[in-house]
Structure 1
């Protein structure tokens, strides 16, 4: 029996929440993973998992065994990565997670050149605005904005993206131009609901060094930034977008930026928006392998500090 392979099937099943999901992380079939676990249980002379149609739970023996072997599998993966990378270019699989908008607009255009730089790497990109789990989804590095950071993750800031409040010329002609953030109370505000925790992404301003949030009544709420982008271009209201999403439409006149500093007006310079901060995140310091470090260094070199 390939004991290590069977242990890996057991560990991945527990981490992923099911034998089928754990098998996908291993790159094998669910039947093969189930057989591995059965052989492991037989060799140990005890049952490790309780399987039902909906749930997977560990027995008391399973919990004791998992506590002893969990770090073994992670350590072996790191050891294999360190040895292979020591003898040449980074190689193996690199699994990258990112928020959808950042992935579409910033990350994906950079991936082809990185793949050409490191042809021995197999790259997989997972785009999602929900909270990606580095362990259960086998993510090597995730790119998150500040509000997505979680306790325990190791994070390195890689970019800052200014944000802009904007609307279409047609909407502003119908509803008028808000002169201050407080004027937003009378406008149709298109707001982003964060899939991570269901909170509305706050519209925060800075005045005289003090952050504040004006009272806002959402007109339309959506959990996809690109959909909000489409809504604002179509004249549905005012929204908050990162400049890397909005700038092209602003430049061609399809959108108009609001609350912009005006040196000729003493009042206009009293308000400013808070930018988005993006971080490369790792499960722990041991997860920063050579291939991960090469990827993050590449991002830092290619992404402007202010997007």
Structure 2
């Protein structure tokens, strides 16, 4: 008899590289996952996996069985999705990965209406800036900025986040206000390190339509944007933030935007920080499950007119 739960656990273990990874994806304990595979092996009368303390490997029989059953399980999942489409009711677990700052500050507040409107969809979030392997981690849809796009995925642009250079009033009183981005080379800058490739993210801006990348002097580097915002609030230096993060801090007087208005008595070219583009990423262009399609359309509509994605207005001084 077909052991569907055992097959699913077996395939997830192979994709994730361990039984523990399969257990996490399926929401069960490692012991239960191990038992599912053991029952499958018993029913087949052969060992599918060679287990060690640190890894697992396919036996010859396991490799053959995987090649035969993986397409079958994929077809069953597609059939469930097609039935959901037919009934007009998206359903099942929707596993979403998202860059940390965007997830905390933008995505989380937008999810409750979607969850309420689709009670048969169980949302699971993976909030992290590290590289995500959508197949191994069983992610249905990812939200990533351009520098962290996942290879081999279908992408859909959903937002261009306005960026602002900003610093605390205490820092500006102590070190002075830079008049142009070139002045940043003489200031303490708080920079973001991208976990996708380990590089420090540059601070490009547009000057009269030309893209310019200024030299920066790093006072501190972090791999979390909200941490950089707090460092800036406490006077550690100048940082570059998405407007959705900076806006409440600016409204409270904790940060001041830079380069939004020419200093009095000086004529300088008009500049604007280059926006940070965000994309939805999913696996298959040919077959998009109803739960993925409905969520993608909902999020795109919700972001289209979001006030925190509109460019900040100049602050008079």
Give the TM-score normalised by structure 1: 0.92
Structure 1 window deviating more from structure 2 (68-77 vs 195-204): it is: 68-77
Hey, what's the Cα distance between the residues in 2 that align with 1:253 and 1:190? Answer: 19
Partner of 2:174: 174
- Superposed, which structure 2 residues align to 1:217-296 within 5 Å? 217-262=217-262, 266-269=267-270, 271-286=271-286, 288-296=288-296
Query: Which residues of 2 match residues 1-307 of structure 1 at below 5 A?
Result: 1-262=1-262, 266-269=267-270, 271-286=271-286, 288-304=288-304, 306-307=309-310
Provide the secondary structure at the position in 2 that maps to 1:220: strand
Q: Deviations over 1:15-58 (max 9, x none)?
A: 11111221232233323332332343345454322110111122
Which segment is superposed worse, 286-295 or 151-160? 286-295
Q: Does the 8 Å CA contact 2:207/2:269 hold for their aligned counterparts? A: no
**What SS class does the counterpart of residue 278 from structure 2 fall into?**
strand
Q: Please identify, of 173-182 and 87-96, the stretch whose mean Cα deviation from structure 2 is larger.
A: 87-96
1:278 aligned counterpart, secondary structure: strand
Q: Shift in Å at residue 150 of structure 1?
A: 1.9
Give the conservation status (yes or no) of the 8 Å contact 2:165–2:257: yes
Equivalent residue of 1:285, what SS?
coil
> Distance between the aligned counterparts of 1:256 and 1:59, measured in 2?
61
Cα contact 1:140–1:287 (8 A) shared by 2: no
Q: CA separation in 2, counterparts of 1:210 and 1:3?
A: 60
- Cα gap change, 1:179 to 1:236, in 2 (>3 Å): same
Task: Give the 3-state SS of the residue equivalent to 1:80 in structure 2.
Answer: helix
Mean CA deviation greater in 39-48 or 198-207:
39-48
For structure 2, the residue ranges without an aligned partner over 5 or more in a row are 311-317
How far is the alpha carbon of 1:194 from its aligned partner?
Answer: 1.3
SS in 2 for 1:157: strand
Q: Deviations over 1:193-217 (max 9, x none)?
A: 1122221111112334432322222
1:303 is paired with a residue of what secondary structure?
A: helix
User: What is the Cα deviation at residue 283 of structure 1?
Assistant: 1.5
- 8 A Cα contact 2:49 2:58, kept in partner: yes
Q: Deviations over 1:105-152 (max 9, x none)?
A: 111111111111112222222211112222222211111111110221
CA drift of 1:261 comes to 4.8
SS in 2 for 1:195: coil
Alignment deviations for residues 258-292 of structure 1 (CA, whole Å, 9 cap, x no partner): 122549854241x3311011111101224521111
- In the alignment, is the contact (CA less than 8 A) between 1:260 and 1:268 conserved in 2? no
CA contact (8 A) 1:152 1:284 kept: no
SS where residue 133 of structure 2 aligns?
Answer: coil
In 2: Cα distance, 1:5 partner to 1:72 partner: 13
Aligned to 2:314: none
Q: Tell me, yes or no, if the aligned pair for 2:132 and 2:150 is still in contact at 8 Å.
A: no
Q: Which moves more between the two structures, 124-133 or 153-162?
A: 124-133
Would you say how many aligned residue pairs link Structure 1 and Structure 2? 306
| TM-score (ref. length: structure 2) | 0.89
Q: Secondary structure at the match of 1:260?
A: coil
Name the Cα RMSD after superposition. Answer: 2.1
Measured in 2, the distance between the counterparts of 1:72 and 1:190 equals 50
Distance 2:204 2:68 in 1: 47
C-alpha displacement of 1:299: 1.1
